[in-house]
Chain A
Amino acid sequence: METLERILSEHPFLKGLAPEYIQLIVGCAANVRFEAGQFIFREGEEANQFYVIRQGRVALSMFTPERGPIVIETLGEGDILGWSWLVPPYHWRFNAQAMELTRAIALDGKCLRGKCESDHDLGFELLKRFAHIIEQRLQATRLQLLDVYGARS
């Protein structure tokens, strides 16, 4: 049987984390499912979770008054969705919308925030891993500005 514990402990994002931390994280985890078109979160709302996508596709978008919603990136199986829960003021920076039926593991960030405060080793481990996700999003946004296919480099 695929337990949440096994899935999470084998996920590259959490691999190598001490078993007691994995257990702690599993304690904050639940399976969730989003229908095609459903918003998982919206820009500006309070950010209290993050997701490990198990199946499906999610579009990250921003809304601009002139151009409407602009999709920045799509995420899929294995990707981590959401880092705003870890950084004050804990508000989502993007919209996330399921493009097809999407299954994910939701992790309660509020509960994890408290645990990170009381155990800095856990806090540091998670921050290190999320710093990588934030760097990836920054890179994705930068590359779009670069227009990598249009201009001669």
Chain B
Amino acid sequence: MRNNSEHDPMRTVPYRIRRVRRDTADTFTLELEPVTNQQPFHFAPGQFNMIYVFGVGEIPISISGDPAVTSALVHTTRSVGTVTKAMSQLKRGDVVGVRGPFGTPWPILAAEGNDVVLVAGGIGLAPLRPALYAILARRERYGKVVLLYGARSPEDILYRDELRHWRAQFDLDVYVTVDRATSQWRGNVGVVTTLTSRAPFDPLNTMAFVCGPEVMMRLTALELQRRGVAADQIFVSMERNMKCAVGFCGHCQFGPMFVCRDGPVFPYSRVKDWLGVWEI
């Protein structure tokens, strides 16, 4: 992975905000370009950057753009606390610091020849979007490709236009469900696990990429296994607070692993004993 922090992962590089898009009431997407003339930014789907909001703090955010586009960096963020709220106030032209990319990617190449099921919960669609771009770019190498996406309510649905576009594609099955709906909503209601039992894929020949809050990933993995997908064919992306992002500080420890160095993408079989354990 060649990038501008290849030799010094601790070096923060300034990026200017080229575009801000408000996706939902609490999520926004920033498109960043290097302030000085930099090398193209290469990353693999599933990787993340450490984003520094100057004077506030540094947080891990997955890259949510197309890996084939190396001129801009795209990050979709939900504001939950100090740094993300400050980040949501930034405007076009403001500058943030970027370190990365870090972490293990989704096994896009290993999935070739298989059906691929991407299961996203809430903001978890952001880290999966690059995987979908990469798969669609080489669509012929995969069997069925299915996207299952669950959001809290119709207003919380991310990337609406793109979902509409993906849904219209013949070679991609897109299912969206919401947890809470008024009677105006004509789509599915129920958490995303209810979709896994109905989606059209061959469980014995499927790789599943799952991203969302831990409870959602755990329940989804159980449902996928119930349908016959093996635990080592299911991949999840873990979240833990981070500081160094390079395996030094121990902040992101998850059982015997460090999420920044050994993850965030893990085979479910490797983390299943730790998911659902309190206080690790």
Contacts and interface: CB of A to CB of B under 8 A. Distances in A.
Interface string A55-88: 0010101000000111111101110000000000
Contacts, number: 71
Contacts of B151: 149
B40 interface: no
Contacts of B239: 152
B7 interface: no
A148 B190 contact: no
A68 B179 CA distance: 16
Interface residues of B, number: 31
B213 A149 contact: yes
Contact of B191 (A59, A77, A144, A152): A144
A99 B216 CA distance: 27
Given A73-B190, A73-B194, A147 B152 contact: yes
A77 B188 contact: no
A82 B186 CA distance: 21
A143 interface: yes
Interface in B237-280: 239
Contacts of A77: 198
A114 interface: no
Interface in A128-153: 140, 143-144, 146-153
Contacts of B179: 143-144, 147-149
A78 B122 CA distance: 27
B219 A143 contact: yes
Contacts of A150: 122, 152
Nearest to A136: B194
Nearest to B216: A148
Nearest to A76: B198
A146 B121 CA distance: 13
Interface of B: 80, 121-123, 150-152, 156, 177, 179-183, 185-191, 193-194, 198, 212-216, 219, 239
11 contacts: A68-B182, A68-B183, A72-B190, A74-B188, A74-B190, A140-B191, A148-B215, A149-B122, A149-B150, A150-B152, A152-B239
